């Protein structure tokens, strides 16, 4: 998501999920920006797919996803 320069945001929390929305743009729906990762992390395949695609443009995200992958395979190897 690209932010609109100069537009102010407001953040709202509902049931451990944090949303952002533009104060003066009611036509644009709010979106999830954070929350309890145990409840919402990778809630669906589309979100995961979007993150992988974005990681091609954002090196910091790529590095974080690489760490997640390493942790995943470490845990997976321990349980196999």
pLDDT attached to residue 41: 60
Tokens representing residue 17 in the block? 């999920």
- Model confidence over 55-76: pLDDT tens digits? 999 999 999 999 988 998 889 7
- Model confidence over 11-64: pLDDT tens digits? 998 887 889 999 999 999 999 888 764 555 666 778 888 889 999 999 999 999
Rounded Cα gap, residues 25 and 5, in angstroms: 13
Q: How are strands ordered across the β-sheet holding 17-22?
A: 9-14, 17-22, 31-35
Length of the chain: 80
Tokens representing residue 46 in the block? 């589309």
């Amino acid at each position: 998501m690209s932010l609109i320069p100069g537009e102010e945001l407001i953040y709202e929390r509902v049931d451990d999920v944090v949303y952002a929305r533009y104060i003066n743009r009611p036509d644009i729906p709010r979106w999830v920006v954070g929350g309890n990762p145990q409840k919402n992390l990778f809630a669906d395949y589309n979100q995961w797919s979007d993150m992988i695609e974005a990681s091609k443009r954002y090196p910091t995200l790529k590095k974080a996803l690489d760490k997640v992958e390493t942790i995943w395979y470490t845990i997976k190897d321990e349980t196999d």
